[in-house]
Amino acid sequence: MKSFSSFVGALLSVALLAACSGNSASTPVAVVPSSRADSLTANRSSASVAPETRHNAVTFKSLFSFNPGDGANPIASLTYVGGLLYGTTESGGLRSGAGGGTVFTITPSGTQKVLHIFGNAGDGAVPTAALKYVKGALYGTTSQGGASGVGTVFRITASGNEKILHSFGGTGDGASPWATLTDVEGALYGTTVAGGAHYSGTVYTIATSGVERVLYNFKGLRSDGERPLASPTA
């Protein structure tokens, strides 16, 4: 019994010396049997790698493959409205003989429908931007076509009824609107990559009724800029 008490006393002395060494605020050192320490180390290791092993596999599924009749080169993002996705293709739509691009809808399951085919006389052509939904209708731009052949702003309903709101003229109000329109409290804002007073592009605003106004003409100088390709805001 005396030898056992001496052994316990020695262990307590070692623990107290370890706790008192160094900084007085140091955390006391716990003595853990080696078998338990090995178990704790194994548990920490498995916990550190567990998140990596729980990742779900990412799967890819093609919903629809375009052909010339349905449109071609859908380079713009889709717009989600009322359970349907709306988009544009910059070319294709050959079923009408026009082939100047399309507006289409597609369901989340992959059922596609062409709403409008661009390229007929007086219409726009080559839509490159996404559609903007404002107060029950979709608004977009074409980089070509229209009265002067240098682009348009158009409106289209969910049923496919399309109307040209504005045809760009080139030097007076810009040409080739490539960017998606931006909605600010019911007014639409956009850019053209060419045309304007200095032939370097413009920033413009257009009402949903079709009244258009140039806000700024880029000068194309080192202190200014030219050919804006993006929307006025993200």
pLDDT tens digits, one per residue of 153-176 = 999 999 999 999 999 999 889 999
Same domain, 44 and 139: no
pLDDT at residue 34, rounded to an integer: 47
Residue 224 placed within a domain: no
Same domain, 97 and 138: yes
> What pTM does this model have?
0.73
Range of the domain at 109: 79-217
Q: Once rounded to an integer, what is the mean pLDDT over residues 69-78?
A: 92
Per-residue pLDDT at 60 exceeds 90: no
Distances (CA, A) of 181 to 15, 20, 133, 139, 152: 73, 71, 10, 8, 12
Residue count of the chain: 234
Residues 148, 167 contacting (CB under 8 angstroms): yes
Q: Once rounded to an integer, what is the mean pLDDT over residues 75-89?
A: 96
Name the domain count of the chain: 2
Three-state DSSP state, 156:
strand
Same domain, 157 and 118: yes
Spatial distance between the Cα atoms of 198 and 217, rounded to a whole number of angstroms: 7
Same domain, 86 and 23: no
Same domain, 106 and 201: yes
Please list, residue by residue across 166-205, b when 16 or more beta carbons sit within 10 angstroms of its beta carbon and e when fewer do: bbbbbeebbbbbbbbbbbeeeebbbbbbbbbeebbbbbbb
pLDDT in tens, 182-204: 999 989 999 999 999 999 999 99
As a whole number, the mean pLDDT across the chain is 81
Amino acid at 194: A
Same domain, 20 and 111: no
Distances (CA, A) of 8 to 1, 2, 12, 100, 146: 11, 10, 6, 92, 97
Same domain, 204 and 96: yes
Q: Once rounded to an integer, what is the mean pLDDT over residues 111-123?
A: 91
In the numeric block, the tokens 């717009």 are attached to 79
Structure tokens at 84: 């349907």
Spatial distance between the Cα atoms of 87 and 153, rounded to a whole number of angstroms: 15
Residue 60 placed within a domain: no
Same domain, 43 and 101: no
Per-residue pLDDT at 98 exceeds 90: no
Residue 69 placed within a domain: no
Please state which of the ranges 53-67, 71-85, 172-186 shows the lowest mean pLDDT: 53-67
Residue 37 placed within a domain: yes
